[in-house]
Amino acid sequence: MGGPALAPAVIEPSPSVGQSPAAAGARTRRILCVFPRYVPSFGTFEYAYPLTGGVRAFMPPQGLLVIASVLPKSWDVRFIDENMNPASAEDFAWADAVFVSGMHIQRRQMDDIRARAHALGKVVALGGPSVSACPEHYPHFDYLHIGELGDATDALIAILARDVSRPPGQVVLATKERRALSDFPVPAYELAQIDRYFLGSVQFSSGCPYTCEFCDIPGLYGRVPRLKSPAQVVAELDKLLACGVNGSVYFVDDNFVGNRRALRELLPHLVEWQKRNGYAVSLSCEATLNIARWPDILELMREAAFDTIFCGIETPEHDALKAMGKSQNITLPILDAVRLINRHGMEVVSGVILGLDTDSIDTGGRILDFLDQSNIPMATINLLQALPRTPLWDRLALENRLRDDDPERESNVDFILPYDDVLAMWKACMSKAYQPEALFARYEYQMRETRPNRAPRPRSRQRLSPSNIKKAATIVGKLFWKVGVRGDYRRVFWAFVLPRLVRGQIEPILSVGLVAHHLIMFARDACSGNGNASHYSAKTRKLQLEAPAE
């Protein structure tokens, strides 16, 4: 169970190995790809799932599904997302080898998958962002795939084509030559239960030109964005639609506007795709707040039915933004930037961080004032966490301010302010920001000032399909019963819903009702001590969520 104790063997991929996948296809292998469960978090909407009549997880993981597409066509591949159902002993017994991938927050779950596979004598390979940043955290896996898709991937396939027994010691395969993003295959969405995800996922670019102190993206993926072609993106959207994606697709790019010229080339293709498919889905993305400087891009995004942009605003305090290397957020006044985005029909979702060195006892109040002024409905308020391979990690290590020794702490950072004061500030922000009255007031603003600016969506057969109508009816029924009849904030809920119901505006009832319910319930649980104060917190907790109805 503990894995080999020998020192890792680092294998340098060779040019001949890089040509191995085609040859590897001559021998059939059975590969089980297992994606680990997330700890319930603010941004993954677990509380909304029981209201949907079938959703079981947030969005499909790109990494494992791309790897599944790269494997030789003669190999049998099975994909299991443990956010839906755990991999069974029968699944592990079926497999010749097990592939796992994940982020730091999934570290315990990844190791649990490894232990279950090893109990049945199966070889296990681990890849993804967490192991690429911290291979030392995973001493018991048989193969470590460090870095992105490339020659290390080819080497791993070649090794498994020859031998699927566990090696005597850990083998580390590090990518030296990355595969061009323009050469990536369409992810194997057909292996996943796409219709059981809250939304779909697509990647257009990788990397970000900015160097925010707390962010590990430049260290992992570089500062020069690498790109897929518009044809690739359209093909992925086509496949998601064919696989039954629910009504929204999220561009998981680290910074959607990292290469403006490429984005301007992509967006007209997205507009045409939406027209061809009756605007069957809405789109969303992550981008730096300075996207507001380019109204021509915002206008094209409006035409392509982008409804939401996640922006890492982090803090409204300018000195703090400069200290963390995020001056791009103040190329325009922050409130002006948010309103410019709103005027193009897109809501802003904001990342907010507490525990910065520049914070004072008044920072929490200024964040609440900022939410009131900006009317941003959803702000993911987290305590600062230092991630490996970031300038923040390096600085705090030199200052002896990293705290990984206390499993009861919500953050690994030794804050300037007293820890208990920062935690209390976080709880106060969460509690006040997500009072039902405050949250629905911000959504009322969006209904008045943002959503009317969206490009009109046709009453197409794709949008009004029988399956969509059935899903909408299911959600409305569950919302009305669970929130409108049994919920303790039903008065605020009906004040928002009834005027829209009278006017036949069902879509905002669905979208706002689902998201607001999750935000309210998650915030309550988090403030009572049942949820973590950081998405990356290592503190072990498990929220008692209602199981989604089958």
In this structure, what CATH number is given to the domain that contains residue 312? 3.20.20.70
Judge whether 77 lies within some domain.
Answer: yes
Q: The domain containing residue 130 runs over which residues?
A: 29-174
Judge whether 162 lies within some domain.
Answer: yes
Phi, psi values for residue 114, rounded to 5°: -60, -45
Q: What is the DSSP letter of 437?
A: H
Strand ranges (DSSP E) for 247-384? 248-251, 282-286, 306-314, 347-354, 379-383
Looking at the structure, do residues 313 and 445 belong to the same domain, yes or no?
yes
**Rounded distance between C-alpha atoms, residue 398 and residue 291, angstroms:** 35
Task: Look up residue 327 and give its amino acid.
Answer: S
Residue-wise pLDDT for 368-405, tens only, equals: 999 999 999 999 999 999 999 999 999 999 999 999 87
Q: Tokens in use for 33? A: 């790809």
Contact 258, 209 (CB under 8 A): yes
Task: Show which of 438, 453, 468 is a domain's final residue.
Answer: 453
Looking at the structure, do residues 162 and 89 belong to the same domain, yes or no?
yes
Looking at the structure, do residues 106 and 159 belong to the same domain, yes or no?
yes
Mean pLDDT of 272-281: 97
Q: Which residue has the higher pLDDT, 386 or 5?
A: 386
Judge whether 43 lies within some domain.
Answer: yes
Looking at the structure, do residues 48 and 86 belong to the same domain, yes or no?
yes
Q: Determine how many CB atoms are found less than 10 A away from the CB of residue 113.
A: 27
Confidence of residue 534 (pLDDT cuts 50, 70, 90): low
Contact 332, 293 (CB under 8 A): yes
The pLDDT of residue 18 is above 70: no
Cα separation values, 124 from 15, 37, 145, 399, Å: 24, 17, 11, 37
**Rounded distance between C-alpha atoms, residue 51 and residue 514, angstroms:** 7
Residue in the block written with tokens 């066509």? 73
Looking at the structure, do residues 151 and 245 belong to the same domain, yes or no?
no
Q: What is the pLDDT of residue 538?
A: 58
Cα separation values, 381 from 244, 364, 419, 436, 533, Å: 32, 10, 16, 17, 8
Looking at the structure, do residues 369 and 287 belong to the same domain, yes or no?
yes
Residue-wise pLDDT for 224-274, tens only, equals: 999 999 999 999 999 999 999 999 999 999 999 999 999 999 999 999 999
**Mean per-residue pLDDT of the chain:** 92
Judge whether 91 lies within some domain.
Answer: yes
Looking at the structure, do residues 431 and 310 belong to the same domain, yes or no?
yes
Residue-wise pLDDT for 23-45, tens only, equals: 444 579 999 999 999 987 888 89
Judge whether 404 lies within some domain.
Answer: yes
Looking at the structure, do residues 143 and 286 belong to the same domain, yes or no?
no
Cα separation values, 44 from 90, 244, 298, 494, Å: 29, 20, 26, 25
- DSSP labels for 226-272? EE--HHHHHHHHHHHHHTT--SEEEE--S-TTSSHHHHHHHHHHHHH
Q: What is the pLDDT of residue 533?
A: 66
How many structural domains is the chain composed of?
Answer: 2
Which distant-in-sequence residues (6+ apart) come within 8 Å of 4 by Cβ?
140, 142, 166, 167, 168, 169, 170
Looking at the structure, do residues 258 and 399 belong to the same domain, yes or no?
yes
Looking at the structure, do residues 45 and 156 belong to the same domain, yes or no?
yes
Judge whether 61 lies within some domain.
Answer: yes
Q: Tell me, what CATH number does 48's domain have?
A: 3.40.50
Judge whether 413 lies within some domain.
Answer: yes
Residue-wise pLDDT for 459-508, tens only, equals: 999 999 999 999 999 999 999 999 999 999 999 999 999 999 999 999 99
Exposure string over 102-111, b if 16+ CB within 10 A, otherwise e: bbbbbbebbb
Residue among 334, 274, 277 at smallest CA distance from 302:
274
Judge whether 160 lies within some domain.
Answer: yes
Looking at the structure, do residues 208 and 168 belong to the same domain, yes or no?
no
Looking at the structure, do residues 162 and 217 belong to the same domain, yes or no?
no
